[in-house]
Chains A and B, each alone.
Chain A
Amino acid sequence: MNSPPTLAVCKFASCDGCQLTLLDCEDELLALAAEVRIAHFLEASSEVLPGPYDLSLVEGSITTPGDVQRIREVRGQSKVLVTIGACATAGGIQALRNFGDVDEFRSAVYASPQYIDTLATSTAISAHVPVDFELRGCPIDKRQLIEVIGAFLVGRKPDIPDTSVCTECKRRGLTCVMVADGTPCLGPVTHAGCGALCPAVRRGCYGCFGPMSGANLPALIGQLHTCGMSPRAVDLLLSTFNVAAPGFARGDDGR
Chain B
Amino acid sequence: MTHRSRQLRVSALARIEGEGALRVVVQDGQVLAAELQIYEPPRFFEAFLRGRQHTEVTDITSRICGICPVAYQTSAWNAIEDACGVSAGDAVAALRRLLYCGEWISSHALHIYMLHAPDFLGYPDAIALARDHRDLVERGLRLKKAGNAILEAVGGRAIHPVNTRVGGFYRAPAKADLVPLAEQLRHALGDALATVTWVAGFDFPDVNLDHELLALQDPGRYAIEHGQVVSASGLAFPAAEFSRHVAEYQVPHSTALHARLDGGAYLTGPLARYTINSAQLSPIARQAAAGAGLGPTCRNPFRSIVVRAVETVYAAAEALRIIDEYERPEPSFAEVPPVAGVGHGVSEAPRGLLYHRYQLAGDGRIESAAIVPPTSQNQAAIEADLRDLVSASLHLDDAALTSLCERTIRNYDPCISCSAHFLDLRVERR
- Closest beta carbon of chain B to A210's beta carbon, Å: 14
Does B342 reach chain A (CB closer than 8 Å)? no
Residues of A within 8 A of B156 (CB): 197-198, 200-201
Knowing A18-B66, A115-B250, the reply to whether A198 touches B162 (Cβ < 8 A) is: yes
Does A104 reach chain B (CB closer than 8 Å)? yes
User: Could you show 11 A-B contacts with beta carbons less than 8 Å apart?
Assistant: A15-B64, A17-B159, A23-B110, A30-B127, A30-B138, A46-B125, A109-B42, A115-B250, A118-B41, A197-B157, A236-B53
Task: Decide: A26 and B142 in contact? CB cutoff 8 A.
Answer: yes
Indicate the member of B118, B159, B406 with the most A CB atoms within 10 Å. B159
Among A92-100, A185-193, A218-226, A246-254, the stretch that binds chain B is: A92-100
Residues of A within 8 A of B252 (CB): 112, 115
Which residue on chain A has the smallest CB distance to residue B15?
A: A46
Within the complex, which residue of A11, A12, A94, A241 is in contact with B44, where a contact is CB–CB below 8 Å?
Answer: A94
Task: Decide: B15 and A12 in contact? CB cutoff 8 A.
Answer: no
Task: Decide: A203 and B162 in contact? CB cutoff 8 A.
Answer: yes
Residues of B within 8 A of A (CB): 11-19, 40-44, 46-48, 50, 52-53, 56, 59-60, 63-67, 69, 110, 114-115, 118, 124-128, 130, 134, 137-138, 141-142, 144-145, 148, 156-160, 162-163, 165, 169-171, 249-250, 252, 255, 257, 406, 415, 417, 421, 423
Which residue on chain B has the smallest CB distance to residue A99?
A: B48
- Closest beta carbon of chain B to A37's beta carbon, Å: 10
Q: How large is the interface on A (under 10, 10 to 19, 20 to 34, 35 or more residues)?
A: 35 or more
Which residue on chain A has the smallest CB distance to residue B53?
A: A236
Interface residues in A100-126 by Cβ distance below 8 A to B read 100, 102, 104-106, 108-112, 115-116, 118, 122
Which 10 A-B residue pairs are closest in the complex by CB-CB distance?
A17-B66, A45-B125, A47-B124, A46-B14, A105-B47, A96-B48, A201-B171, A94-B43, A26-B145, A26-B141
- Closest beta carbon of chain B to A170's beta carbon, Å: 19
Within the complex, which residue of A13, A20, A100 is in contact with B66, where a contact is CB–CB below 8 Å?
Answer: A20
Knowing A15-B64, A202-B171, the reply to whether A109 touches B14 (Cβ < 8 A) is: no
Task: Decide: A24 and B171 in contact? CB cutoff 8 A.
Answer: no
- Closest beta carbon of chain A to B234's beta carbon, Å: 31
Task: Decide: A24 and B250 in contact? CB cutoff 8 A.
Answer: no
Which residue on chain A has the smallest CB distance to residue B49?
A: A96
Task: Decide: B65 and A43 in contact? CB cutoff 8 A.
Answer: no
Does A168 reach chain B (CB closer than 8 Å)? no
Knowing A15-B66, A30-B130, A47-B128, the reply to whether A106 touches B44 (Cβ < 8 A) is: yes
Within the complex, which residue of B16, B48, B63 is in contact with A43, where a contact is CB–CB below 8 Å?
Answer: B16
Does A29 reach chain B (CB closer than 8 Å)? yes
Task: Decide: A14 and B125 in contact? CB cutoff 8 A.
Answer: no
Interface residues in A1-53 by Cβ distance below 8 A to B read 11-21, 23-24, 26-27, 29-30, 33, 38, 41-48
Residues of A within 8 A of B257 (CB): 110
Residues of B within 8 A of A19 (CB): 66
- Closest beta carbon of chain B to A174's beta carbon, Å: 12
Residues of B within 8 A of A104 (CB): 47
Residues of A within 8 A of B41 (CB): 12-13, 63-64, 67, 118
Residues of A within 8 A of B157 (CB): 194, 197
Residues of B within 8 A of A206 (CB): 59, 162
- Closest beta carbon of chain B to A12's beta carbon, Å: 7
Residues of B within 8 A of A118 (CB): 41-42
Known: A93-B43, A94-B48. 8 other contacts (CB 8 A): A17-B65, A20-B67, A24-B158, A30-B138, A41-B125, A45-B128, A111-B249, A116-B255
Does A184 reach chain B (CB closer than 8 Å)? no
Q: How many angstroms between the C-alpha atoms of A198 and B157 in the bound complex?
A: 9
Residues of B within 8 A of A148 (CB): none
Q: How many angstroms between the C-alpha atoms of A46 and B124 in the bound complex?
A: 5
Knowing A13-B41, A64-B41, the reply to whether A23 touches B148 (Cβ < 8 A) is: no
Residues of A within 8 A of B59 (CB): 206, 240
Q: How many angstroms between the C-alpha atoms of A126 and B89 in the bound complex?
A: 47
Q: How many angstroms between the C-alpha atoms of A94 and B40 in the bound complex?
A: 13
- Closest beta carbon of chain B to A241's beta carbon, Å: 7
Q: How many angstroms between the C-alpha atoms of A63 and B218 in the bound complex?
A: 41
Residues of A within 8 A of B406 (CB): 46
Residues of B within 8 A of A94 (CB): 43-44, 48
Task: Decide: B144 and A26 in contact? CB cutoff 8 A.
Answer: yes
Task: Decide: A24 and B148 in contact? CB cutoff 8 A.
Answer: yes
Residues of A within 8 A of B114 (CB): 23, 44
Does A211 reach chain B (CB closer than 8 Å)? no
Does A212 reach chain B (CB closer than 8 Å)? no
Residues of B within 8 A of A97 (CB): 44, 47-48
Does A208 reach chain B (CB closer than 8 Å)? yes
Within the complex, which residue of B14, B60, B134, B144 is in contact with A42, where a contact is CB–CB below 8 Å?
Answer: B14
